[in-house]
Amino acid sequence: MSYFFEYRGITKTYPGVKALEDVSFGVRRGAVHGLMGENGAGKSTLIRILSGDQQANAGAILIDGAEQKFASVRDASDNGVMVVHQELQLVPDLTVAENLCLGRFPSRAGFVSRRRMIADVQAVLDDYGINVDAGARVSALPLGARQMVEVAKAAMVKARVIALDEPTSSLSSRESEVLFRMIARLKAQGTVILYVSHRMDEIFQLCDSMTVLRDGRLAAHHDSLEGVTRAQIVSEMVGREISDIWNWRARPLGEERLVVDGLAGAKLSIPGSFTARKGEILGFFGLIGAGRSELMRLIYGADPARTGRVMLEGDSYTATDPRQSIRRGIAYCSEDRKHDGILNGRSVEENITISARRLWSKGGFLRPGREAEVAEEQIRQLRVRTPSRFQDIANLSGGNQQKVILGRWLAEAGLRVLIVDEPTRGIDVGAKSEIYDLLYKLAEQGMTILVVSSELPEVMGICDRVLVMCQHRISAEFTRDTFSEQALLAAALPDGQNHSTAA
């Protein structure tokens, strides 16, 4: 069988780490090829080598039988290779059209022809069914639309190989559909698409063939997905069988602990109210932008509330400051770890002790022994995979970073409510089930846990009760016996007449 695109014996080492070892696989012309693996398995490195951003220590990339040597990102894109990263690479202050034409502005005698550029780009966008104005500034677009623009950019240069790194992580399901249609079009044009995703559904829906990486090595290559099962892929990814990663068990719930009464703020227009009980895992499901994170941030005091109150075991207050909330026993793990979760450049130890150290430090002085002890305890208890507590947290995988942030709160005393926002986003299967087990354990000890998640199987898998939010409103409530995928999704989707915010 002849492949249009091939990785041959790719090896990449960083000092002390072998990121990739002798990885070889090929993709046929016009095929969508899935790339899966736990975090740290080497997917990103493989993509980076393709993009020209990094160079392999050994091995080669072949396109249409010809060996390629990419010295830079520019070099790769000139040779028809485009990579759409999770962190988008658009210039926010330029228009969509300018971004798409960057480096190759249509010009006449050195002058950029704005009108022609916008018309050209608009034609491409319309052609792919992307509902975005070519003259709009990128910074004014929602995240999902930006992602689409990035993919359109790859389509516009008529790339021969396009790699998409977790493209749907910031898309609503409707936007994902548009993306999938684009992929189908590109595929029909003979483009090879490398599709990196943690979402099994998408892999099965889109891909013709796939590769699984584990610890920098090729764990499996499927030239066709016929007869391949999810369980098989999961076991290829982790090297062991995971039967039921949810593992939910019934547990007795205690008295009402948290009452949220009509909280609204600058980013949440409709006041939200709900109650949660001791030992309960309460889920919040909805589309991106439904207002779930915004409600959580108001409860925590991360954003100021305009109206409403929080009542915690009878003690009624308006949260104005995260410090206050922590002292009251409420902790919050944010949705975007990189943005407002981890302290970059600081050690695992410091990331764990940052908040709880007030419990033992005296007169503003640290107690290094105690800090180390607490950090070691959390690392052990949460099974954080790190060479030592001195390791810079930025070097840990997503799952381990998440564990460190959970450790930050578990080091606190008297925690009563734990809010986790997208607790397993971008986290591999193995770490996921460890995090779920931890949440169950905490709930059994009486912790009230609020889980925000955009993954339907996850909220249904781990929560005792789910509130669905839609366009800033809590639109429905479900208990375990009334859970159904259709019902939850239906409650999350906006009505036909006012769907403008979901675009």
Binders of another protein among residues 173 to 192 (CB under 8 A) are: none
How many CB atoms within 10 Å of residue 344?
Answer: 10
Partners of 150 in the β-ladder: none
Q: How far is the CB of 340 from another protein (least distance, A)?
A: 4
Is 342 a residue that touches another protein (CB under 8 A)? yes
Rounded CA gap, 35 and 33, in Å? 7
Binders of another protein among residues 269 to 328 (CB under 8 A) are: 300, 302, 322-323, 326
Is 453 a residue that touches another protein (CB under 8 A)? no
Rounded CA gap, 150 and 170, in Å? 13
**Candidate residues 366, 373, 380, 479; the one interacting with another protein per rule CB under 8 A:** 366
Is 14 a residue that touches another protein (CB under 8 A)? yes
E strand or H helix at 99, and its extent? helix 96-101
Could you tell me the two tokens for 385?
């995979």
Q: How far is the CB of 356 from another protein (least distance, A)?
A: 9
Q: How far is the CB of 172 from another protein (least distance, A)?
A: 24
Tokens 């899966």: give the residue: 36
Nearer to another protein, 356 or 429 (CB): 356
Q: How far is the CB of 360 from another protein (least distance, A)?
A: 10
Residues 373-392, one symbol each (x = binds another protein by CB under 8 A, - = not), give ------------------xx
Is 15 a residue that touches another protein (CB under 8 A)? yes
How many CB atoms within 10 Å of residue 291?
Answer: 24
Apex 55 CA angle, 54 and 60, nearest 5: 135
DSSP 423: T
Is 426 a residue that touches another protein (CB under 8 A)? no
Q: How far is the CB of 421 from another protein (least distance, A)?
A: 11
Q: Do residues 404 and 348 make contact, with C-beta atoms less than 8 angstroms apart? A: yes
Rounded CA gap, 347 and 352, in Å? 9
Closest by CA to 281, choosing from 482, 501, 448, 73, is 448
Cα atoms in the 13 Å half-sphere on the side-chain side of 324: 16
Residues 471-490, one symbol each (x = binds another protein by CB under 8 A, - = not), give --------------------
Nearer to another protein, 219 or 382 (CB): 382
Nearer to another protein, 49 or 463 (CB): 49
Helix, strand, coil tally for the chain in percent (to 5): 35, 25, 35
**Candidate residues 314, 345, 414, 496; the one interacting with another protein per rule CB under 8 A:** 345
Apex 376 CA angle, 373 and 344, nearest 5: 110
Is 341 a residue that touches another protein (CB under 8 A)? yes
Is 365 a residue that touches another protein (CB under 8 A)? yes
Positions touching another protein (CB under 8 A) are: 14-16, 300, 302, 322-323, 326, 332, 334, 339-346, 350, 354-355, 357-358, 361, 364-366, 368, 391-392, 395, 408
